[in-house]
Structure 1
Amino acid sequence: MHLHSNGFCGYDISVEPTGEVDCYTYWSRFSVKQTYDKLQMKRTFTPHVSNHASEVTDRNARAAIHGPQSVRHGWEWYEMGFFIYWTPSGSMTLLCFDLPAKSQLAIETMLCPQETSHSCPYASFLLVSDALLRLYDDSVWAIRNHISEWEATRSQEADYFLLHEVARNGVHVNETLNVAVRSLDATQQHHERCRTGTASICSSNACERWDKVGSRFQFQLRFLQDLLQRSNANNARIQNEITLAFNIAAQRDSKVQLQVGEEAKREASAMKAIAVVTMTFLPATFVSVSLLAQKYQPPSCINVFDDLLHRRYLEPTFSRMVPTETLV
């Protein structure tokens, strides 16, 4: 269940029977959606299996919803877990799970040159959150790059599938940022409780007048909130592009329909002219043919067979050729 969560954080304090603090533990999970240059549709998915499903009957119960196979479609999920174990003596263990290679290198680089205070369980997590901010910043700006590229190369024929992919990934980026803001805010509150509410955890040196760890958390939280605002702006921009593409297509269809109507008018005028010409000249032709049929006299030299053919077939045919005006 926790492996499918989009983010959380929590802490626990172990207290000795004497009332002294034995250890302090903190755990959290952060998710980041990173997009790349070419976005493509993914036509397969991993279904979510209920937590009540039997592990024996369903082998996919522990399958990861987001795997590395999505990279070929132009996007990737970073689902990272962190665990801190701290004791009042100053010993601390920091575990990081499923970090991308660039974040691992960044955390190692920050840990080596500087001395991390062990008097507070959250001092080392500041370095982790700095690396997380870089991931979220890259995630938001990657969506912005897709939107700006679309705006710069906008055409009459819109690629609605690409617009949908950009909007879909933008929604995921917004989701992860919202969860990260709440998680970092909760982490800051945990630090305040650790610092002020439980004096036995923090040593006298840690509980100074100026809380460096807390002020750093506040800065990181404000930075993450600003990224969330930019992500909201990205989503608004892509929705504007979708609306514009739809309106352009509707306007183009309206122009085509107008042209079809104009062509229909011209065809109707031509048919009207043909009808007028037909009604003007065709009746006289019928009358002429009818009169010629009535005045026709076969020559005396014609044989008997031709005379019978004329009387039996031609005269009845000419007599039935009546102009249409006489029938009205």
Structure 2
Amino acid sequence: MTKTRPARCSILDIYEWDIGPGWSQRTVDLHEILSHDSKEDGVTASPRPAICIIFASANIIRKCELCRGHFIDKFKMPKVWWSDYSKKSNGYFGCQRSRSPNGQESFDTWTYFEIKKLEPTAIYSWYKLNIFVRWDGESHQTVVLAFDTPYDIAQSFRDLLVAPDPRDLHSPFWFYPHLLSEVARHQEAAVWAIRNQVREVEKQTLPLGRPNPDYRNLHDIARHALHVSETLEVAVKTIKSMLDRHRDLWPSLSDFDAEQGIHSQLQFFESYISSLSSRSASNEKRMLNEIQLAFNTVAQHDASTSVKIGLATQADSLTMKSIALVTLTFLPPTFVSAIFSMSFFDNSTESGWVLSEKFWIYWVFAIPTTLFTVAAWYFLQKKYSAPAPLREEKFHALNISISPNQSFA
């Protein structure tokens, strides 16, 4: 049954090393070979080299059923490795052993690390080290599948293995110290990139006026610090799983001294990355302290301004009270003088004071006007000084949603 060929095929960069000829490089289109039913292996040359490093794109291979099946069949890769949840994981280590018909054991190991690389310009990128290693116990051949490896890390692998020690190849875990040295190098750079940005924030001096912190930038640095801490914690757990598995397999491996040296190297990288995790946690706490300090500084400045406003308001209140007291003092005499200055009173006659018969007109207009003014004031006071919950209920009745102030996560 012929399988449908996808639009894109997987291009593999293959680097091979053997005693004598050294390193060689070639590029193959695996799908092109498989789709033509070629008898050529397409991946490893014949005779088989001692080391074969294959750089491939797992994202493209996942879309090609033919290529994916070839990797599963040839390298005994577990199908779970190609699953979605394995792809979305942030780190793991796995190991399985098999035995050939002549009794020789082979080991398949796979591991995954994530590293967040942060530039001084706040631009960041994710490095993903997704490695599958197949070690043949009979020929001691090692095939390393490096999926979606960044170019600079791929170059570092070639530099680290420019002259491998043939004795190291007798261990199925010989490649992992080289891998962990790259993990440690890039994680160290990630931790110090966060530390440098935190230090720049710590060195900033307070302005003379109201502080105006860049909260978005502060929270971005804190977010990067959290991600770096997460990747370091997962890396430590992954290396511990690697050490546990290597300790279990140690008695069944041939070269005790070589295995002891590899185990010591793995322990060193576990200790080193654990210390990086502690430094990353310190960066995280320092950044949170700076964010809290920024909030408190602004709050302190605003509180000081509020105190000044309160003192000014208090002074204005005393002045208004004085004015009100003077007004109340002179208001009764003013009212009395206004009453007696009306034309309803006449004291020019010889008989003395004369009160007009129409004086009732004054009360007819004065009393209703006063009552209307007091009622209007009471109605307006009650309408515009309603409690906050009542006002919110009115807004909700009009389908107006009141959203709280947003804060950065």
Same fold (TM over 0.5): yes
Query: In percent, how many aligned pairs have the same letter?
Result: 29
Give the conservation status (yes or no) of the 8 Å contact 1:286–1:321: no
Higher strand share: 2
Aligned counterpart, 2:274: 225
Say yes or no: does 1:137 pair with 2:191: no
Which amino acid is the alignment partner of residue 186 of structure 2?
L
Aligned counterpart, 2:313: 264
1:136-215 aligned at under 5 Å gives the runs 136-153=187-204, 155=206, 156-194=211-249, 196-199=250-253, 202=254, 206-208=255-257, 211-215=260-264
Structure 1: distance between partners of 2:87 and 2:321: 76
Structure 2: distance between partners of 1:97 and 1:154: 46
Structure 1: distance between partners of 2:357 and 2:88: 97
Taking structure 2 as the reference length, the TM-score comes to 0.59
Cα displacement (A) at 1:247: 2.1
Which amino acid is the alignment partner of residue 284 of structure 1?
P
1:209 and 1:105, CA in 2 relative to 1: closer, same or farther beyond 3 A?
A: closer
Task: Show CA shifts across 1:216-253 (max 9, x none).
Answer: 11111111010011011111111212222222233233
Give the conservation status (yes or no) of the 8 Å contact 1:33–1:172: yes
Structure 2: distance between partners of 1:22 and 1:296: 134
Task: Show CA shifts across 1:189-210 (max 9, x none).
Answer: 333333x3213xx3xxx32288
Structure 1: distance between partners of 2:364 and 2:230: 88
Taking structure 1 as the reference length, the TM-score comes to 0.73
Aligned counterpart, 2:339: 290
Question: Which protein, 1 or 2, shows the higher relative CO under an 8 Å CA cutoff with sep ≥ 6?
Answer: 1
Structure 2: distance between partners of 1:320 and 1:277: 28
Structure 1: distance between partners of 2:204 and 2:147: 40
Which amino acid is the alignment partner of residue 177 of structure 2?
L
Aligned counterpart, 1:46: none
1:282 and 1:125, CA in 2 relative to 1: closer, same or farther beyond 3 A?
A: same
Aligned counterpart, 1:31: 114
For the residue of structure 1 that corresponds to 2:169, the secondary structure is coil
1:239 and 1:80, CA in 2 relative to 1: closer, same or farther beyond 3 A?
A: same
RMSD: 2.9
For the residue of structure 1 that corresponds to 2:263, the secondary structure is helix
Task: Show CA shifts across 1:148-177 (max 9, x none).
Answer: 111112542223222222222211111111
Aligned counterpart, 1:106: 156
Structure 1: distance between partners of 2:221 and 2:305: 30
Count of residue pairs brought into register by the alignment: 269
Aligned counterpart, 2:128: 79
Q: Which runs of 5+ in 1 are unaligned?
A: 40-73, 299-310, 323-328
Aligned counterpart, 1:94: 144
1:286 and 1:319, CA in 2 relative to 1: closer, same or farther beyond 3 A?
A: farther
Aligned counterpart, 2:178: 127
Cα displacement (A) at 1:319: 12
Aligned counterpart, 1:52: none
